[in-house]
Amino acid sequence: MSERIGFVGLGIMGRPMARNLMAAGYPLTVWNRSRPGIEELVGQGAAEAAGPRAVAERSDVVITMVSDSPDVEGIAVGPGGIIEAARPGLAFVDMSTISPDVTRRIAARLGEAGVEALDAPVSGGESGAINATLSIMVGGSERTFERCRPIFEAMGRTIVYCGPSGSGQTVKLCNQIAAALNNLAMCEALLFAVKMGVDPRKMLEAVSAGAATSWAIQNLAPKVLARDFRPGFKIAHQQKDLRLVLEAAREHHLPLPGTGLVHQLFAAVEAEGLGGEGVQALAKAVEKLAGVQVS
């Protein structure tokens, strides 16, 4: 019999991930802070619960996909949270991107109540969530990971066990460092091409086939050229992730100058009231510095 899945957090990423679980045949119970996500999923066959505790009471595995560390902590161990429905065999899988330290704290509290916990953040953006091609990086008990592997396979293409609790979140923050710096490299390459009088489309055609290609070059650069700044992943969420990176780096006396620079450039875009735009809007910061618009 399929595991009964609970899903909390039905935003840009959560909705398609939840749909893919239903498509794989998993019975799904959902809850979200706002109604549109609930109504969409219930309309496609999911059951609605009144809150995190009610989701957990009707599920074998509860997945969260929400914004930040305090959200996950409240859902997992706060009043009305998953911990109030704790029982042997219940598993908690957080697929948000949050602090590794908070992850370990949540896992310890749930473990004391008999709940198995995994941190399983994802990379691949909205398109990866829709197409079930996400990269999923997992921390926690390897036994629990193997139990949940079929669930992950319904949502992603690359599933990697990274180590004990917090390891998945640490690897995701490594991903965010590389993604943010690749994004900046893409923006600067576009800017340089335009300033030097080269068709940026031709530049992308050539660079995309060589050693300098990246997800940003292939997926974000065409959006910048089209002046399409709709979010697949919002700047505000990227900034939260980079803040987590820089807080951990400061605690461990680790210099990350490139990450710090990108964080400040994104802050310049946020200062214009554009934190809800997609991360490709980083181009607006470098355009403003140079007085050149990429198009």
Q: Which residues are catalytic?
A: 172
Comparing CA positions, the residue from 21, 31, 28 lying closest to residue 53 is 31
- CA dist 94 and 14 (Å) reads 11
**CA 112-151-219 angle, 5° bins:** 115
- CA dist 47 and 38 (Å) reads 9
Amino acid at 200: P
- CA dist 267 and 246 (Å) reads 14
Count other Cβ atoms within 10 Å, centred on residue 256: 17
In this structure, what token pair is assigned to residue 191? 């800017």
**Residue 211 DSSP class:** T
In this structure, what token pair is assigned to residue 234? 């919002």
In this structure, what token pair is assigned to residue 97? 């991107």
Which is it for the CA torsion 207, 175, 280, 33, positive or negative?
A: positive
Residues counted in the chain? 295
- Residue 146: phi and psi, rounded to 5, are -65, -35
DSSP character string of 239-254: HHHHHHHHHHHHHTT-
Q: What is the residue whose two structure tokens read 């957990």?
A: 56
Count other Cβ atoms within 10 Å, centred on residue 149: 13
Beta strand pairing call for 116-119 and 134-140: antiparallel
